[in-house]
Amino acid sequence: MASVQYTTQLQAGLGLVAETKALLDLWRPGMSTRQLQEVARESGSFPTITARRLRNIVNECFAPRYLISDASPAAHLKRLAAYVPMADLMQLMLLFTSRANPILGDFIREIYWARYAGGYQQISNEGARAFVERAIDDNRTSKRWSETTVRRVAAYLTGCCADYGLLEKGAKSNRRILPYRVTPTASAYLAYDLHSKGLGDNALLTHQDWQLFGMSREDVIDELKRLSLKGHMIVQAAGDVVRIGWKHQSMEALCDVISKS
């Protein structure tokens, strides 16, 4: 299977945690991006953001991340946002942002967690830059990027990780690696999301999305067993074969249960 091409789309916005939360509050099912822009502009929730910048945030960031698949990510996060801690919401934002921006997901899987596991204390923009340069050499971009673009994208990667809590915040060229562990809400959501996409139980355990949280197949099994104690599923593991009994009939049902717990 051909590798997905990397883009510079992160330049439109990094984590945008506060902006995403505000847009989720304003978004309604069936809204077009233009309607969302107008509602957001008139809401007073973005007083320091120009109309052009707001349009870019909606079209280049919010829509590709949360309005895909009939806007189900937006619907789910909107349902959960009023009830779950911000840490849970940020992990789900990380999931959808990484799916929309494969360069970010691969950076986290290949660089962040490798350094985390290796006991390193920091990740630098130079390290991120080396990752971007290797990707260009491996033809992961449609054309070679300029030095300026490489430098900016490297900073976007570390900045986005900081926005989502993997690295320390601030305008830094070296960022401290922070302790990071998947939350039960994020793991339950991801498990059910992959199941809803038709993945078999054993294929689900090794999906690359788990690696955003530094999780191996064995880690995923252990996490699902913990979720089974919360009543989300039944997990039966015998050797290399794992069977999962899914307690909730849909993603919406899962979100309802989480929001009431």
Domains (ranges, CATH) in the chain?
1-180 (1.10.3540), 184-260 (1.10.10)
Distances (CA, A) of 94 to 91, 147, 148: 5, 27, 26
Residue with tokens 């799916």: 99
Q: Is the pLDDT of residue 24 over 70?
A: yes
Mean pLDDT of 54-70: 97
Q: Is the pLDDT of residue 261 over 90?
A: no
Question: What does the pLDDT read at residue 132?
Answer: 98
Residue 82, SS3 per DSSP: coil
Share of the chain above pLDDT 70, in %: 99
How is 118-151 classified by DSSP, letter by letter? TT--EEEHHHHHHHHHHHHHTT-BSSPPPHHHHH
Question: What does the pLDDT read at residue 170?
Answer: 83
Model confidence pLDDT, tens digit, residues 75-96: 999 999 999 999 999 999 999 9
**Cα 80 to Cα 222: distance, rounded to the nearest angstrom:** 24
The letter for the amino acid at 193 is D
Strands 233-238 and 174-176: unpaired
Q: Is the pLDDT of residue 50 over 70?
A: yes
CA distance between the termini of the chain:
41
Share of the chain above pLDDT 90, in %: 94
Mean pLDDT of 93-121: 97
Model confidence pLDDT, tens digit, residues 148-197: 999 999 999 999 999 999 999 987 889 999 999 999 999 999 999 999 99
Alpha-helix residue ranges (DSSP H) falling in the chain? 17-26, 33-43, 51-56, 63-66, 72-81, 86-100, 102-107, 113-117, 125-137, 147-163, 184-196, 201-205, 217-229, 251-260
Distances (CA, A) of 78 to 82, 167, 188: 7, 26, 17
Question: What does the pLDDT read at residue 2?
Answer: 53
**Cα 159 to Cα 61: distance, rounded to the nearest angstrom:** 15
- For residue 123, the cross-strand partners are 175
**Cα 110 to Cα 88: distance, rounded to the nearest angstrom:** 23
pLDDT band for 1, please (50, 70, 90 cuts): very low
pLDDT band for 233, please (50, 70, 90 cuts): very high
Residue 27, SS3 per DSSP: coil
pLDDT band for 27, please (50, 70, 90 cuts): very high
Q: What is the mean pLDDT of the chain?
A: 96
Closest C-alpha among 58, 9, 10 to residue 38: 58
Q: Is the pLDDT of residue 5 over 80?
A: yes
